[in-house]
Structure 1
């Protein structure tokens, strides 16, 4: 009786922790959508690039862009020259 109770409680603890971990992982995947480039450049001075291999079409920039596919996709509307870098400076 004690052994089955211990197994049951252990199983409940393991399952409870695994469901709690999946909820926090889902919350981390949400990315911020910025209203305009001024707002985005407050957090990311060089803008946001989709991949590290993209090149800027507009010439030389002052700052290196932050690389994040999810953040770029959320703010794709701010990439006016369609070079996969949003709000580059």
Structure 2
């Protein structure tokens, strides 16, 4: 694995842990794709720092469990409290 990829994986892991952020937010902050973030923190980080990888996995699992709530909030903000009115 190239050195800069290892560094990026460790930086992403630290960023996600410190900010308890989502893969999408980390990708946006680092200017890379969600797929790259996911691969870095699930596969590459596990080889570099297994303890950090477990911490990141715990945060990502929490985010996954809560995403339906965040999605509902986004819809409410977009369409207002009562939702979209048809007709």
- Output the TM-score relative to the length of structure 1: 0.27
Return the structure number with greater helix share. 2
Return the structure number with greater strand share. 1
- Output the TM-score relative to the length of structure 2: 0.28
Pair member with larger Rg: 1
